[in-house]
Chain A
């Protein structure tokens, strides 16, 4: 077996040094009834070329993004990742390193995390950011819990524009919690979360651009929350939007959570992704997840360490701010390299390109009979109402080789009023020909 270095001769020699008669002697603590009493019935080891053929056959059964016009977004976005990013993250020293608990021999990872935290703080306009969480959805649940600790209040209100999966994750994390108020879906950008804030409110959670693509007024939400002593949690699923939209930190956000997948990371059918979390300086000690900080070594040289770990489970055990241990280190690296390559100039151009393509898409869709665009504002994503039910329509378009977006009913199956809604996104990869193909197919289907 190619991954196992020992020969049988060496195994026997080692058993001799141990003083064991055979390998089973080392498993003597295992009850006899449980040790090798079964036949797994699993296939035997296999040469590399056969494993590769097996996996390729599975992959070939999927319709990849590059196989045709593609407009699927709704929380994960198909962007171009420079070749440099994927090359670098596969270097042994990044890929096969452990969590940097031994800072003397982990300065690469630690400096990268320090740079990553700086990038996220600048993007969001916040004082501090952590070294990443699992993804945007679990990050949102963590932010809600953090807000409760900070305010010592319980009521949390989720906007009707929050990604339904994110809402569901918060619900699961706060199971049976009467203090969680989830406002009903607001595909037209309607609904006023501000009416739901009171003196018991720990936080309101507002996504912008929201799930349906509308841009929400963060400043008024922040002012209303703060007037009642509540916090504003801003959620962003498309981080590229921050290249054109005002930083939430400049508008009064208290905690910002974002899905960072769009920068540096492939779609991967849903993971691994990375959660970004940033907050105000005074809230650091209630922030979950790892933090990297600057210090000096014994010779006075600048260096970096994981810090403020007294918040974390390996020190605080049941009193920790979260049970989180692992972050998304390699995804954060991919994000940081891609963002480092873009820089302000490239990131702004990328955002403009996304918005420009989305404007073209919206204008083209508005001209299709049987299609109504619901957005007056958007960044790169919008919602349309079609004259036929969306789920079946999307399926027929997929059979034509066009992945035309997400039927809202897939995420909100109990709400009949949204059966005809589709969320679509454009990115820098969207071409005029893609838009023309989509609109032509929609015209035929909705005839």
Chain B
């Protein structure tokens, strides 16, 4: 067996072209692929090799080779530890990603989610044996309904976009039940997250964009002009994606309701107002809450999320199954739709593991701590805006911002440095880039969300770095930006090449060669 340059066997494959052994730091060696290290004989799991006397596989036995590489335990540990070190993470540095709410993920949450009474229970075991789980779901529901002042909550959506889908399905079901199936239009402000129009289109609605005002907010008059007997709903994010609270949100809700439509609120930015403003008081009918943003469940490199949806009294009858209800012998799980309800949007009970984490976080913070967290998140964003506005350009400077500070790229005019270049230079200073080019209503947007988790010291350091970078860009040091990052495990990656001839899995070098011919 051949050996790779870390002195380990290369197994079934050999290391592809372009592989070098270091990433520029002695502590961050490049790591070959699993298939270049392991082979089909090695395994890190000891299991007895049993004989099967009479198989019941009915002639459907596998003939195609699995060809799955295996690693022994020490090899696996090293492979995944080495890979992990090529990632930025909240625990290792600030993650000022606007609209993503990258806050601290408490480890108590993880510990509680792993209690066997939560992690080792089956979604279909008798409900009499999971009363504690149902009670936990009830408690989480109580917190979510109280914080939003709403009548009901559907816990099951698997993530924010899934919650949007459910909320809009509930609206569609309610419109159908009211004989209003002809309503085929959904209003979506131009500043919305891409999931909003995608969700509306998914359900067959046509999307009518609402332009943003010059100050970044939605004009109630523009909404009124767009409303008609064919409009089913508006999907509005509040606080909006420019980091602003919609000052006319109550008037917008009233106009929407007067026209017989529903108000779907995208709750991605709930972290700015939890415990301080209750969306139910603003007139919303449905709103998803990203537990992985607002309530600190980990992002995990892109999921799993959880997107419970709170519902107004008008939409509550259209909530999906399953849900928890008090029964004669304790708590019941209602698993089959009654009346006009829209049925089931996922197998089982949703993201239970995330419910446990979110409730643990809520109990830790308490009602008072959650309000303080929201206020600190808003304080931090305004502090960044105040410290940087003399160097950066602020598109909507008239209002205080909420939990995000938004800049545009006009401060870079004439420097030859783009928003992307600027963000990549931030990597070399140890920060994750901010959200770029979103919201779309601002040219070259840079959206910064510090969250409440960052200390004043970290914020000051971040602002110092941002200021220094801005001045350097203006001073003409273009190269520092266009070549960045220089100190990351990789330089800029060729995304065009990746998309033009996609390589989406590892193949043995001989197979890859054959496929290319």
Contact = CB atoms under 8 A, between A and B. Distances in A.
Interface in B35-59: 35, 38-45, 47-58
B351 interface: yes
Interface in B105-126: 105-106, 108, 110-126
Interface residues of B, number: 214
A367 to B, nearest CB: 15
Contacts of B502: 284, 291, 293, 307-308
Contacts of B65: 344
Contact of A250 (B19, B63, B173, B305): B63
Interface stretch (B77-85, B225-233, B257-265, B467-475): B77-85
Nearest to B353: A268
Contacts of A148: none
B195 interface: yes
Given A330-B300, A345-B40, A117 B504 contact: yes
A128 B348 CA distance: 28
A51 interface: yes
A121 interface: yes
Given A245-B61, A302-B16, A94 B300 contact: yes
B33 A111 contact: yes
Pick the most buried of A34, A114, A166, A176: most chain B CB atoms within 10 A of its CB: A34
Interface stretch (A150-158, A190-198, A349-357): A349-357
A361 to B, nearest CB: 11
B123 A269 contact: yes
A215 B146 CA distance: 48
Pick the most buried of B23, B176, B320, B499: most chain A CB atoms within 10 A of its CB: B499
Contacts of A336: 34
B514 interface: no
Contacts of A171: 343-344
Given A326-B161, A395-B126, A3 B104 contact: yes
A286 interface: no
B406 interface: no
Given A3-B104, A31-B250, A295-B498, A104 B427 contact: yes
Contacts of B349: 269-271
A20 interface: yes
A436 interface: no
Pick the most buried of A29, A88, A118, A379: most chain B CB atoms within 10 A of its CB: A29
B62 A244 contact: yes
B84 A324 contact: no
A441 B473 CA distance: 77
B34 A115 contact: yes
Contact of A42 (B306, B367, B427, B454): B367
Interface string B497-515: 1110011111000000000
Interface in B49-103: 49-58, 60-71, 73, 76-77, 79-81, 83-92, 95, 97, 100, 102
B400 A48 contact: no
Interface string B113-149: 1111111111111101111110110010001001101
B200 to A, nearest CB: 7
B413 to A, nearest CB: 25
A35 B42 CA distance: 62
Interface string B337-380: 00000111111111111101001101111111111110110111
A104 B352 contact: no
Contact of A268 (B60, B352, B503): B352
B335 interface: yes
B179 interface: no
B456 A14 contact: yes
B42 A60 contact: no
A69 to B, nearest CB: 12
Contact of B57 (A29, A72, A91, A215): A215
Contacts, number: 720
Contacts of B493: 103-104, 295-298, 303-305
A175 interface: yes
A29 B398 CA distance: 11
B224 interface: no
B453 interface: yes
A243 B68 CA distance: 10
A66 B122 CA distance: 11
Nearest to B381: A26
Contacts of B125: 63, 72, 398, 403
A375 B56 contact: yes
A339 interface: yes
Contacts of A217: 60
A399 B347 CA distance: 26
B129 to A, nearest CB: 4
Interface stretch (A199-207, A225-233, A315-323): A315-323
Contacts of A169: 343-347
Interface in B276-318: 276-278, 281-282, 292, 298-306
B477 interface: no
B88 A64 contact: no
Contacts of B146: 40-42
25 contacts: A19-B386, A26-B400, A29-B246, A29-B247, A40-B147, A44-B366, A74-B124, A95-B105, A98-B301, A105-B489, A107-B86, A115-B35, A267-B123, A269-B353, A271-B304, A271-B352, A301-B20, A313-B194, A317-B194, A324-B159, A344-B40, A349-B47, A349-B48, A359-B55, A428-B47
Given A17-B387, A317-B207, 12 more contacts: A15-B379, A98-B100, A111-B33, A115-B35, A135-B158, A138-B346, A284-B504, A308-B502, A323-B164, A343-B41, A344-B40, A356-B50
* Nearest 10 interchain pairs by C-beta: A343-B70, A59-B117, A61-B132, A270-B348, A330-B300, A42-B367, A270-B123, A92-B91, A272-B304, A45-B366
